[in-house]
Structure 1
Amino acid sequence: MDYANRGRPQRPKKPKKGAKSNAKKASVARRPVPWLIVLLAIALIALFSYFLISINGEGDKHPATVTPPAAQTKPQQQLPEKPKERWQYIEALENKEVEVDVPERELGPPKLMQCGSFRQQTDAEQLKAQIAMVGLEAKIYPSDGDSGRWYRVVLGPYKTKRAAESERHKLQRNKIYGCAIWNWNLD
């Protein structure tokens, strides 16, 4: 079969607008009304309504509980007297104070926060300026090691690690990352 010469498939032609609306009207007019279903629905609604009307108010005629005649002749018994409590701890706990020994928190060595270590002093001073823009004061400490001279940018000392963490979070909110908290003594 020659696929190139077979041609395009033909679509059915659409009827004109006026013809389309007439076709819909004709199809609606031809459908028979299901009178059997309509009559059945009306009968069910009527039966349900009759049922609701017939049970209206019958709940008041029947009492909720039926008491036997033997129970009506007996006199009601009195409840026994409430017993006294045997437990003494309730009054003892109301007036008791608890003493707890809390040891003092050991602070430990002061904390320092290092935010960078650079070969060039200009790089260290640039980071120090960024930290100053946040509102914190940093110091630059030069240190000599096996690999040459380094310039460390350090904040602190802090008495507690919590104070150092607070300032580190402040730096992180201003996009200065990489600060580490150490137990250092720079003396």
Structure 2
Amino acid sequence: MTNRDYANRKPARKGKAKPKTIRRKSQAPAPRRFPLVLLLVTLGLITGFGYFLWTINNSAEELDETKAPVVEQTDIKLTQKKDPKALPPKPEEKWTYQQELVNKQVEVDIPETAVQTHLYQMQCGSFRTQAQAEQMKAVIAFQGLESDISKVRGTTGDWYKVSLGPYERKRQAEKHRHILQKAGINGCFLMYVKK
């Protein structure tokens, strides 16, 4: 089946064809009249614009005269006329906090720091053979970090765990983990260790 576009298709005429209009040669097109309305509107706009320019011609000089203060002499006193657009004088500061801060003493109660009950340790690998653990320890040593290998007995046999630490602060452990991640060691994770 072929696809047809019924939305953009023009309907075909059935039956009689459209009659053609016959134009006689004797009919000439009507002469175009002069656009009198357009001429009047254009002249009105030009006249209005000219009047606007004429009114603002001397306004700049009048504006300069109002900005300059006028000084009059009356009875040997010189008085100055106030400009209505002038700003009021700057107010005096009423604040005394600057003097108070110089002589102020602040007392702060610092609570005693809680005794840390745990440390952080980072484990980077767990291997079946000690040779694999020693190899991981060497890679960590090339990064400038010191690690330990501990042997742990599990249900499936002995495991050799490579770990770093202990750290008192988590920030230091995270710093070392980022160093190891740059070296391509991504399996390290942090653990809590009790003191």
TM-score (norm 2): 0.50
Asked if 1 retains the 8 angstrom alpha-carbon contact of 2:117 and 2:194, the reply is no
Q: Deviations over 1:83-132 (max 9, x none)?
A: xx8x9988666522222222344343332211111122222222212211
Match in the other structure for 2:59? 58
Match in the other structure for 1:100? 108
**Cα separation, partners in 2 of 1:121 and 1:49, compared to 1, 3 Å:** farther
**Cα separation, partners in 2 of 1:57 and 1:139, compared to 1, 3 Å:** same
**Cα separation, partners in 2 of 1:88 and 1:140, compared to 1, 3 Å:** same
**Cα separation, partners in 2 of 1:51 and 1:166, compared to 1, 3 Å:** same
Match in the other structure for 2:157? 148
Match in the other structure for 1:167? 176
1:151 offset after TM fit, Å?
A: 0.6
Match status 1:120 vs 2:120? no
Q: Which deviates the most, 55-64 or 158-167? A: 55-64
Aligned length: 130
**Cα separation, partners in 2 of 1:45 and 1:180, compared to 1, 3 Å:** farther
Asked if 2 retains the 8 angstrom alpha-carbon contact of 1:114 and 1:181, the reply is yes
Asked if 2 retains the 8 angstrom alpha-carbon contact of 1:143 and 1:150, the reply is yes
Query: 2:110 is aligned with what amino acid?
Result: V
Please list every run of 5 or more consecutive structure 2 residues that lacks an aligned counterpart in the other structure: 1-34, 68-90
Measured in 1, the distance between the counterparts of 2:46 and 2:133 equals 90
**Cα separation, partners in 2 of 1:133 and 1:52, compared to 1, 3 Å:** farther
TM-score (norm 1): 0.52
Report the 3-state secondary structure (helix = DSSP H, G, I; strand = E; otherwise coil) of the residue aligned with 1:136: coil
Q: What RMSD in Å do the two structures reach over aligned CA positions?
A: 3.8
